[in-house]
A and B are shown apart, each in its own frame.
Chain A
Amino acid sequence: MDFWTLGVSGLGAFLGVMAKEALSSFSRGSAAWEKARDEDLKEICSAVDWLRANAETYWCSTIDDRAGDFALAAQITAYQHYVGLLYGEMFTGQAKRDCDVAFVKFKDAVSGGDFGNPDRVPEPRRMTAIHVTALSFRLIAKRERRNLRRKPLA
C-alpha cells in the first residue's frame, strides 16, 4: 500500500467516524429536546393537579379553617400564572390558542367568583367546573404535545 492509498483510506475512516459522531450528537440533541418538552408537559399536568387539589381545599374550607387563606390564594395565583408561562413557551399558533381557551375556563373556575373573599361560600357547581375544566385543559395540552413536530432522529 503506497503512501497516498494509506492517506486516503485514513482520511475516509476519519471522516466516517466524524460523520457518525456528528449524527449521534445531533440525535442526542434532538432526544434531549424532546425529553425537555415531555418534562414540561409533566410539569404542566402536575401543576394542574396541584391546582385542582388546592382549589378544592380553598373553596371547601369553613370560616374557622381560613387562617392561611391568603397564602393559599397567593400560591394558587402563582401556580396559575406558572402554568400559563409553561404552555406559552411550549406551544405557538393554533395549539396555543386552543390551550388558552381551555386554560381560561379552568382559571375562571379556580379563581373567579368570590376568590379572595374571606366570606365566600362553597359552591358545588364551581367544584365540578374546577375538575372538569382542569381535565379538559390537561387533555388538550397532551394532545397538542403529541401534535408538535418531532425533531428528526429524536
Chain B
Amino acid sequence: MMKQYHIATQFTQYPGFRYREHSEGSGQEFREAVLHEIMKSGAPVVIDLGGTNGYPSSFLEEAFGGLVRDGYSAEQIKKIIQLTAPADYQHYVDMAWGYVDKAERERSVTH
C-alpha cells in the first residue's frame, strides 16, 4: 500500500504564503521539510490536499513549482508524488500540477 501524507493533519491546517520569512506553514517550508524528503526517499506517496482552510496560490506555486526549480523534472515528481483531494478541493490539485508544468516549461526556455 502506498504511503499517505495528509497536509491538514501532518503539516498544517492553515497553509501560509510563499516564503518562511512571511508566514508559518509556508510553501517553502512544506517543500523543504516534506516534499524534499519524499523525493529523496524515492518511494511513491499520496499527498492529500483536503481538510485545510484553503491554499494561497503562492503556497502551491512555491511548494510544487519550487521542486522543479530545485532540479527535479515534472516526470520524476509525478512518478513519486500523487495528489488527491475531495471534489471541492480538486482545483487545488489542478493548480499544483499546473505549477509543476509551468515551472518545467520556464526551465526549458531558460536552458
A residues bordering B, Cβ < 8 Å?
A: 70, 73, 76-78, 80-81, 84-85, 88-89, 92, 96, 100-101, 103-104, 107-108, 110-118
Residues of B within 8 A of A78 (CB): 53-54
- Nearest Cβ on chain A to B55's Cβ, whole angstroms: 8
Residues of B within 8 A of A88 (CB): 87-88, 90
Interface size on B, as a range, is 20 to 34
Cross-chain pair count, CB within 8 angstroms: 73
Beta-carbon nearest neighbor of B89 in chain A? A84
Interface majority SS on A: helix, strand, loop or mixed?
A: helix
User: Which stretch, B3-11, B14-22, B39-47, B74-82, touches the partner chain A?
Assistant: B14-22
CB-based closest 9 A-B pairs: A116-B17, A81-B54, A88-B88, A112-B57, A111-B56, A115-B58, A100-B91, A111-B57, A108-B57
Question: Is B53 a contact of A104 with CB atoms below 8 Å?
Answer: no
Interface majority SS on B: helix, strand, loop or mixed?
A: helix
Q: Which of the listed residues A70, A104, A111, A116 has the most CB atoms from chain B within 10 Å of its own CB?
A: A116
Give Cα A76 to B23, complex, Å: 15
Question: Is B94 a contact of A104 with CB atoms below 8 Å?
Answer: yes
Residues of B within 8 A of A103 (CB): 91
Give Cα A12 to B53, complex, Å: 57
New A-B pairs, 8, CB < 8 Å, besides A80-B56, A100-B90, A107-B91 = A77-B53, A78-B53, A78-B54, A84-B54, A84-B91, A107-B95, A111-B58, A116-B58
Question: Is B88 a contact of A89 with CB atoms below 8 Å?
Answer: yes
18 pairs from A and B in contact (CB 8 Å cutoff): A73-B17, A77-B56, A78-B53, A78-B54, A84-B54, A84-B91, A88-B88, A100-B90, A101-B94, A104-B91, A110-B57, A111-B58, A112-B57, A112-B58, A112-B61, A116-B17, A116-B56, A117-B18
- Nearest Cβ on chain A to B13's Cβ, whole angstroms: 12
Task: Choose one: B17, B18, B58, B95; the contact of A104 (CB below 8 Å).
Answer: B95
